[in-house]
Amino acid sequence: MEASVRNYVLSAIADDYEDLEIVFSEVTKWAKEDGKISVAREEIIRGLEQLIDEGYAKAYVLSPQPPHAKSVPFSAEHIGELRFYITPKGKKLAKSL
């Protein structure tokens, strides 16, 4: 995966819990602004999974009842139900970009 796509994904989840659609929208917008023609949805999903595996992000399920955000394992099968957010380690990386 291109480092730029990974960085876009990290930036997309840096401010709030985001679902795949928001991440996809942000990443494709930024990629176009940087002159890339397109970014595949699968590449963004791999980016999320890689960031989680490396400790830069976590997957969550949100709920109106406490706890409002519960960390869960990444699951491509249930990706539509997940939200993603940067970890403290990910914030350090994002600041260095």
CA distance 95 to 16: 16
Residue for token digits 């876009």? Answer: 8
Answer yes or no: is pLDDT of 2 > 90: no
pLDDT surpasses 70 at 1: no
Answer whether residue 34 shows pLDDT above 90.
no
Angle in degrees, 0-180, between the axes of helices 41-53 and 20-33, rounded to the nearest 10: 110
- Residue pLDDT, tens place only, 62-91: 999 999 999 999 999 999 999 999 999 999
Q: What is the pTM of this model?
A: 0.91
Question: Residue 24 in contact with residue 87, Cβ under 8 Å?
Answer: no
Yes or no: domain 3-96 corresponds to CATH 1.10.10.10: yes
Confidence check: pLDDT of 55 > 60: yes
| Alpha helices (H) in the chain, listed in sequence order | 3-12, 20-33, 41-53, 88-96
